[in-house]
Structures are given as C-alpha cells and as structure tokens.
Amino acid sequence: MSNENSLLIRTLRRQPTERTPVWFMRQAGRYLPGYQRIRGGIDFLQLCKTPELAAEVSVEPLEVLDVDAVIIFSDILVPLEAMGLEVEFGDRGPCMSDPLRDRAAIEALKIPDPVESTGFVMDVIRAVHGRVNGKVPVIGFAGAPWTLSCYALEGSPSRTFAAAQRMIYESPADLHLLMEKIADTVIAYLLAQVEAGANALQLFDSWGGMLGHQAFEEFSLHYCRRIMEGLDGCGVPRILFIRGAGNHLEKIAKMVNEVGVEAVGLDEMTPPEQALTIFGDRCALQGNLPPQALFASEEDLRCRVRELLDAFRGHPGHVFNLGHGILPPTPVANVQAVVDEIRSYT
C-alpha cells in the first residue's frame, strides 16, 4: 500500500473508507516492553537524538499492535531546546534548568534552522520510512505555541502553569513575542518534517483548555491558526488537537473551515454527538476513547469500542484514537483488544 493511498491518509483527506483506521498517541510510550528495554539503557532526550533507536521504538506499536499509522518518537519540547532553552526529562516529566524570566530572555531566543539544529528528527522520519516501507503513513508532530510557552515559562511540570497564565494579563506583549517566535520555529520545523517524508502532521495544544475563553482565542486558537496557515499547501494532512477545548468547539470549527484543516483530534471530554454536530463531515475526526478505559475488563472494553464506532458511524472520516496518550501501566493485551475489536466490528 503506498502512503498516498493508505487508509489513514484517505480518511484524513475526508474520503469514505471501508473500515476505521486506528493509531494511538504516546503509542511508543512506557507501556511497551521494547520501549522499556531500550529506555533502560539510555536517557530520554538521548533516545530522541539517536535516529536508529528512536525509529525502532517508533515502529514497535506497528509490530505489536498492527496500527494504521506510526507516530515518530520524539517530544514536543525538542524545538525549545533548539531555540536555546536547556531541556531535561526527569522522573516527574520535562524540566528547564533556566526558564524564561524576562523579555531579554525571550529576545535572546533563536528561531533555529530546523535541519541544522534538529536534523536528528528528520533522520528519525527517514529511518522510520526505511522500516515501514510504505506500509503505513508516518506522522510527524509539534507542540503548539501556548503549550510550549507553558513549559518554557514554568520550567517544571505543573497543574496550573501559573507563570504563563499570569503573563497573559501582566505582560501580554512579551508573551506574544515569545509565541510568535515559537510559531515561526514550529512552522519551519513541521515543513522540514514533510520534506523528510512525514505523511501527516499533528499539532498538540495539550494545555489550550486551561485558558479563559478570551485568552483561548488570543493565545491558543490564534497561534494554532497561524501554524495551520503556515502549513497550507505543504501537501500532507494537518491534524489539530487542542485538549480540554470542549467549550470552544464552535470557534475551532470556524477556524478549521476557514483554513481548511484536514483533521481534528478530540479529547475524551468531548461527546461524539456534539463534535459531529459542530464539525459535520468537513474534516476528519480523530478520537476519543478515554485512555483509562483500557483498564476495563476485556468484555467491557470491547463494548466501549463498539459504542464509540457506532457513535461515529456515518461520518466519512473517523480515525479511531484515544482522547489522550496511553497511560504507562496499560496492559498491552488491552490495547491489542481495542485494535482487534475495531477490525472485527468495522
């Protein structure tokens, strides 16, 4: 199957397909034995920067789960490091030893050349292609400016990202400067991924949903739009995922229609009926089983998978996915049961 004709890409291009394709976020994550083995011997960022190993963990889900797409193994924080921030992955998640504290620090950030500074990501894409041989599409990704700003300003994992939240009101011009620099960086970074062979691109705004309704438009949606527009004509489908944005679906749909974004990822908080009413069939919809549902009994889990497939039946471009990333202690057999149920039911 060539990439262009693969089920996922046709679905993302909004054409009716015979069965529902499936892939997962964080599929190459901590729940898989091969990943655990490789990670046991190497630091997380080092793994991101070692293309052969990163390609190996990228394709493990294809081998173990037989999903319909491979997402490259990397992290959304990789371009921040290229901009000049020191990024570390500790046990509690990503940290910056020197988070941005003032305008001068923002001004000092570079807009890096993606190939020069993050060429290893492009090497991962090429190495993944070498392994999947056109069998399934390869998905590249980046973080959206709001989510990346949260990490760059806070410096450590947080429930509230108070530093970024506060800046919205305290020094919005500085925040806009930061977000513009990140947006330019992300556009160039994603275009380089297409150049290297990515067959689809996903933009993650994981913390977009924590914003007030006005701030959501100004700081999350506006910059997602800029990036989607910057990718217009790049030749591969664009997937937009803003987590926690259930209250903003109309605004997102308006933007998606105006810009022609090919696909939207839905988190598990969004009722499918609501998403179907608001988005209609103008874009592919990806989602949205709760990652926690993978801890249900097999019978219950299979039933939930069928319910979700039924909910999206009639939509010409449903891509089965979780509402968010797979949780580390998830039993592999349960993930396999999900894929199996999708295949036998559709």
Q: Which is nearer to ligand CP3, 6 or 147 (CB)?
A: 147
| Angle, CA 183 vertex, CA 52 and CA 325 arms, to 5° | 50
From the CB of residue 50, how many other CB atoms can be counted at a distance below 10 Å? 18
- Residue whose token pair is 């898989």: 32
Quote the least distance from Cβ 236 to ligand CP3, whole Å: 16
Cα separation, 85 vs 56, in Å, equals: 27
Annotated active-site residue 126? The verdict is no
Q: Which residues of 177-188 are buried (b: 16+ CB within 10 A; e: fewer)?
A: ebbebbbbbbbb
Annotated active-site residue 345? The verdict is no
| Active-site residue, selected from the candidate residues 31, 35, 75, 243 | 75
The DSSP code for 235 is S
Annotated active-site residue 26? The verdict is yes
- Residue whose token pair is 């979700």: 308
Residue 136 in tokens: 């399934």
Quote the least distance from Cβ 338 to ligand CP3, whole Å: 15
Quote the least distance from Cβ 90 to ligand CP3, whole Å: 9
AA identity, residue 132: V
From the CB of residue 176, how many other CB atoms can be counted at a distance below 10 Å? 18
The answer to whether 84 and 108 are in contact (CB under 8 A) is yes
From the CB of residue 30, how many other CB atoms can be counted at a distance below 10 Å? 14
Residues in the chain: 346
Q: Which is nearer to ligand CP3, 149 or 315 (CB)?
A: 149
Quote the least distance from Cβ 72 to ligand CP3, whole Å: 7
Quote the least distance from Cβ 278 to ligand CP3, whole Å: 22
Q: Which helix (H) or strand (E) holds 4?
A: none
Cα separation, 69 vs 219, in Å, equals: 30
Give the burial class of 25: count Cβ atoms within 10 A of its Cβ; 0-12 exposed, 13-18 middle, 19 or more buried. buried
Cα separation, 138 vs 37, in Å, equals: 23
Quote the least distance from Cβ 89 to ligand CP3, whole Å: 6
Residue 202 in tokens: 């996903």
Q: Summarize as ranges the residues that interact with ligand CP3 (CB under 6 A).
A: 25-30, 39, 44, 71, 73-77, 89, 93-94, 141, 147, 157, 204, 206, 243, 325
Cα separation, 279 vs 55, in Å, equals: 34
Q: Which is nearer to ligand CP3, 244 or 317 (CB)?
A: 244
Q: Which is nearer to ligand CP3, 112 or 140 (CB)?
A: 140
Quote the least distance from Cβ 88 to ligand CP3, whole Å: 11
| Active-site residue, selected from the candidate residues 31, 151, 189, 223 | 151
| Active-site residue, selected from the candidate residues 14, 39, 282, 306 | 39
| Active-site residue, selected from the candidate residues 30, 131, 282, 306 | 30
| Angle, CA 24 vertex, CA 44 and CA 10 arms, to 5° | 125
- Residue whose token pair is 């901590």: 30
Catalytic positions are 26, 30, 39, 75, 151
